[in-house]
Amino acid sequence: MRGMTHPTTTGTLRIQSFTLGPFATNCYIIFAEGDPECWIIDASFEPEPMIDFIRTNTLRPSRILLTHAHADHIAGLTEVKDAFPEARVAIHPDEVSWLSDPVANLSAAQGLSITPGPPDETLDDNQQLTFAGRTWRVIHVPGHSPGSVCFYSEADGVAISGDALFAGSIGRTDFPTSDHDTLITAIQRRLYTLPDNTAVLPGHGPPTTIEREKTSNPFVRAQ
């Protein structure tokens, strides 16, 4: 077999979305056809459909990647981790403590105490994660929350944007730990600089593209 100088990709990438819980939070399962490994991105309330999908397709979750630690993205984390204990939970360092802090993760405001506990690993800005023969990059996009991150695969032209950027909107910045200007700047510098045809899969609402948001998002214009 001929040697290759570029990373090879395994099969066609598939991204299965699940809209879960009272806040209609989008969670994702990423896998490549012909490979049992998968990633779980965020675990909202009532995550059973995700767990069922993984079992039905005999997938093997290696990571549970968290875009941020607001309650609607971590409410099902304990249940998912219990179902797949070998999957490593990962989050940005700025929100590690939120996994044990109901006030910070906003569950206390809903009369809940969601405390899945410490992660297995942390995710730094620009960290590269290898999955299905592809390189995914962690992009820190703070503002909605201090440790919000997006996950970007250049090879597949897709970014999972959490609550930073939505189709025609942006994440809320009226929480005590949010900062509006920080979010605008982070979107302009870190997301709007991705290729125009990059698909954006947000934490709420329908998918979009970088080009569409740059040209029509009423909250944040291209620089």
Q: What are the residues binding Zn ion (CB under 5 A)?
A: 70, 72, 163, 203
One-letter amino acid at 125 equals D
**Residue 172 beta carbon to Zn ion: minimum distance, rounded to whole angstroms:** 7
Q: What residue has token string 């991204």?
A: 15
Q: How far is the CB of 97 from Zn ion (least distance, A)?
A: 16
For residues 69 and 87, which CB has a smaller minimum distance to Zn ion in the complex? Answer: 69
d(CA 140, CA 127): 10
* 69 vs 89 by CB, closer to Zn ion: 69
With CB atoms as reference, the residue minimizing the distance to Zn ion is: 70
CB of 46 to Zn ion, least distance (A): 15
Q: Which is nearer to Zn ion, 63 or 73 (CB)?
A: 73
| Residue with smaller CB distance to Zn ion, 59 or 201 | 201
Is the CB of 59 or the CB of 186 nearer to Zn ion? 186
Least CB distance to Zn ion at residue 202 (A): 9
- Shortest distance (Å) from residue 149 CB to Zn ion: 12
